[in-house]
Amino acid sequence: MIIRKLFKFENAHVVRGCSTLRCRSSIHGHSYKVELLFESNFLDNAQMVYDFGLMKQNMKAIIDSFDHSITLWDKDEAEYIASMQKHSQRWVLLPLSPSAEQFSRLFFVLIDKLLSLTTSVNGEKEVKLYSVIVHETDTGYAQAFKEDAYSKNMGIVNIDEIIFSDTIKDDWADRDFWDKMKKDKRFLNPTTV
Ligand SMILES: Nc1nc2c(c(=O)[nH]1)N=C([C@H](O)[C@H](O)COP(=O)(O)OP(=O)(O)OP(=O)(O)O)CN2
């Protein structure tokens, strides 16, 4: 069975090198919609695959880190990156260009890692991330599956190279959240949300 949860975030970017002139040459924003799709052949103590409420904890924190932020590609011009970091409190520096395709791969890698580090406490069994869909606009989206997320052809997503601004970290319930992710620390699901 597949279950799906939708998240939303507002984000600004430039996608260098693309064919669309406005997209590659001007900072612009999107109201992104992110669909997380999970699969399992089992149900938990409440006869659910995975409680949607649990997804609104650390998974939501990852996606919300991009809300009202500017996403910067670390291969962009140093002057542009420094200027954005100076004038915007919420920024994320990525080792990937912020296309819809790379956002879907990025979220797959991050949510997949978080899920693997999370201990469930309500009988959830063999829950896997099946796919991530990132809608950049009403008319365009990218969908990543496991083989896309970890594809060497598309570039390895190295989470050690992802940097969140201090203002973003200040919004996390646990300011050390990202360090724990990078160090493979375990997370325990709450019994009540
Ligand atoms: N394959 C991709 N193509 C484009 C991406 C992308 O991430 N992946 N991104 C862009 C731009 O960010 C652009 O802002 C969105 O382009 P587009 O879909 O053309 O947006 P419109 O709102 O103009 O779409 P309409 O269908 O004409 O309303 C470009 N391409």
> What pLDDT is stored for residue 54 in this prediction?
98
Give CA–CA dist 94/105, Å, rounded.
12
Q: Can you tell me whether residue 129 is helix, strand or coil?
A: strand
Q: Please choose, from the candidates 140, 182, 134, 147, the residue with its C-alpha nearest in 3D space to the C-alpha of residue 35.
A: 134
Of all atoms in ligand 1, which is nearest to the CA of residue 137?
22
Active site members: 23, 68, 136
The phi, psi pair for 109, rounded to 5°, reads -60, -45
Ligand 1 contact via 100 beta carbon (within 6 Å): yes
Burial class (CB in 10 A: 0-12, 13-18, 19+), 81: middle
The pTM for the full model equals 0.97
Residues 168/93, Cβ–Cβ less than 8 Å: no
- What's at 72, amino acid-wise? L
Q: Could you give the CA distance from residue 17 to residue 39 in angstroms, rounded to a whole number?
A: 36
pLDDT of residue 143: 99
In this structure, what are the phi and psi dihedrals at residue 41, rounded to the nearest 5 degrees? -100, 10
Cβ–ligand 1 distance for 137 under 6 Å, the answer yes
3-class SS at 182?
Answer: helix
Q: Is the torsion defined by CA of 83, 76, 63, 120 positive or negative?
A: negative
Ligand 1 closest atom vs CA 103: 7
Binding site membership of 16 for ligand 1 (Cβ less than 6 Å)? no
Tell me the pLDDT of the chain (193 aa) as tens digits: 999 999 999 999 999 999 999 999 999 999 999 999 999 999 999 999 999 999 999 999 999 999 999 999 999 999 999 999 999 999 999 999 999 999 999 999 999 999 999 999 999 999 999 999 999 999 999 999 999 999 999 999 999 999 999 999 999 999 999 999 999 999 999 999 9
Tell me, what's the pLDDT at 25? 98
User: Position of tokens 């920024």?
Assistant: 91
Distance, CA of 53 to CA of 125 (rounded, Å): 17
pLDDT at 65: 98
Task: Report ipTM (2 d.p.).
Answer: 0.95
Query: Could you tell me if the CB of 140 is within 6 A of ligand 1?
Result: yes
Atom of ligand 1 nearest to the CA of 98: 7
Structure tokens at 98: 């912020």
| The predicted structure's pLDDT at residue 33 | 98
pLDDT score of 62:
98
Q: Which two tokens stand for residue 189?
A: 């699901």
**99's tokens:** 């296309």
Quote the CA–CA distance of 10 and 136 in Å, as a whole number. 10
Domains delineated in the chain: 2-188 (3.30.479.10)
